[in-house]
Structure 1
Amino acid sequence: MAEYFNQAHLLLAVDCIIFGFDGEQLKILLIKRSFEPATDQWSLMGGFVGANEDVDGAAQRILLELTGLKEVYLEQFKTYGDPNRDPMERTVSVAYFALIDIHKYEKQISHNFHAEWFLLNEAPKLIFDHDQMVEDAKKKVRYKAALHPILFELLPKKFTIPQLQSLYEQVYNTSIDNRNFIRKLSSTGLLIKLEDKDKSASKRGAFYFKLDKDLYKTKFQSFINFMPNLDNIIG
């Protein structure tokens, strides 16, 4: 097969940052690396792109092989190409973030590679430049979630307003005014109020809501900005 003359060859990989929400806490899914270098150290889900597959297909395949997860919200956000990022060989990595409802996929998680959930703010140190990838993914999610309703991917089919507000507060690491949040949320028309309540936190309880999936699709590209001081909280 013909090759480009006098050009260096390198490996192409993908890494997936998987964020999950269990109804109360925002978490990240990590695995123990199974090969050298850095064997048995905590890592993102990653692997190499095959010779006959595209990058998106490789990300979906690797996610399925390492965790058992499929058909989840997965978005490419950045490419990492520092020549020294992998001590074994020159490797360029394309990074993705995924958003999932932990309870929806808890039976699907494969434990063959010791996949384990960690609280996002208590995750262990990761190999290579994976910690930087996580920080960059958090910034991307914050920016995207202010303009598009992607955080609903982290919620169960029915949820409460306090759950949704808690999720936004954890993603942005800030407190949100309750009345302003409810007002903006109501103005989107995205939520359908249900008759039953969650009474786990109080006798009065909180009504459950579900997402209007048709409006979710049509309003995805023009979502109201929940976060008024976006520039101040992205970092």
Structure 2
Amino acid sequence: MQSESEFLAAYDPRAYPAVAVTVDVVALTIRDGRLCVLLVERGEQPLAGRRALPGGFVRKEETLDQAAMRELGEETGLRPGEGELTRVHLEQLRSYGDPHRDPRMRVFTVAYLAFAPSLPDPRAGSDAAAASWVPVDEARDLAFDHDAILADGLERARAKLEYTPLATAFAGTEFTISELRQIYAAVWGEELHAGNFHRKVLSVPGFVESTGETTARGGERGGPRAKLYRAGDARLLHPALLRPTREEGVR
């Protein structure tokens, strides 16, 4: 049997097709009540000048998670492990490998979904001419297959809010039920009945817990001071908070 050292000595990379691995990040946050995605303007070929999701090639000795967080940090001006990036929820979305998705070579990308409660105005990284937060309904005609990646990321985010408490990843450490409802409305793109939403949230064990404090912000139409809540210890929501259109479909 050929040893590893013998194989490496005889290995000729020219005998294998050139392939590469990248990461792309669907980074979502809420600004001025609208769900926004982080986009960059490509500063280099191919597709220079086109808007795209932040991403890039995975470096040697770098894990996929590390590459995704580095790319996100480069566009926000924050270093991984510090500041607002410490509160980012990051998860793998899926992989994409269409043979023609990149004109340079065969490129497989692993897409990530990031939820962030607040991130600063972005600044362009080394391979981007500009970067900005763009409302998701205005993010279209992106480079490569990023329209499809963004659509998959949005659907994952919307589904996550139905069955998990990750809506709190868009909120501060303390929030009102009204502020939580505004997050759901922004991500789902649907207005929600205030009373029904309040009742449903408090009926889910472990979703939120009261801080015992109140605040003047978030009150409904000048009413009494609103109660403040924090994220509870639930990992799944039971019963789930279904989107209104999905609720109608299961009746």
Any idea what the Cα deviations from partners look like across 1:67-116, whole Å, max 9, x if unmatched? 224332111011000000011221000000111123xx226x43454221
5+ long unaligned stretches in structure 2? 1-7, 79-84
Among candidates 90, 102, 120, match of residue 106 of structure 1 = 120
Among candidates 153, 162, 187, match of residue 171 of structure 1 = 187
| Residue matched to 2:169 | 153
Question: Are the aligned partners of 1:160 and 1:206 in contact in 2 as well (CA < 8 Å)?
Answer: no
Residue 56 (structure 1) aligned with residue 74 (structure 2):
no
Among candidates 110, 125, 145, match of residue 141 of structure 2 = 125
Residue 209 (structure 1) aligned with residue 228 (structure 2):
yes
2: CA distance between counterparts of 1:39 and 1:171?
30
User: What amino acid does structure 2 have at the position aligned with 1:110?
Assistant: R
> Shift of the alpha carbon at 1:23?
5.6
Any idea what the Cα deviations from partners look like across 1:171-202, whole Å, max 9, x if unmatched? 22334333321112112351325322117984
| Residue matched to 1:195 | 214
Give the 3 Å change call, closer, same or farther, for CA 209–140 of structure 1 in structure 2: same
Provide the alpha-carbon RMSD of the alignment.
2.7
User: What amino acid does structure 2 have at the position aligned with 1:59?
Assistant: A
Taking only the aligned residue pairs, the percentage that are identical comes to: 28
Give the 3 Å change call, closer, same or farther, for CA 142–199 of structure 1 in structure 2: closer
| Residue matched to 1:19 | 28
Any idea what the Cα deviations from partners look like across 1:133-173, whole Å, max 9, x if unmatched? 00000111122221111111111233332322122123223
TM-score by length of 1: 0.84
> Shift of the alpha carbon at 1:128?
1.0
Question: Are the aligned partners of 1:43 and 1:127 in contact in 2 as well (CA < 8 Å)?
Answer: yes
**Residue correspondences, number:** 226
Worse overlay, 200-209 or 161-170: 200-209
Worse overlay, 92-101 or 55-64: 55-64
Question: Are the aligned partners of 1:198 and 1:205 in contact in 2 as well (CA < 8 Å)?
Answer: no
Question: Are the aligned partners of 2:76 and 2:120 in contact in 1 as well (CA < 8 Å)?
Answer: no
> Which protein shows a greater Rg?
2
5+ long unaligned stretches in structure 1? none
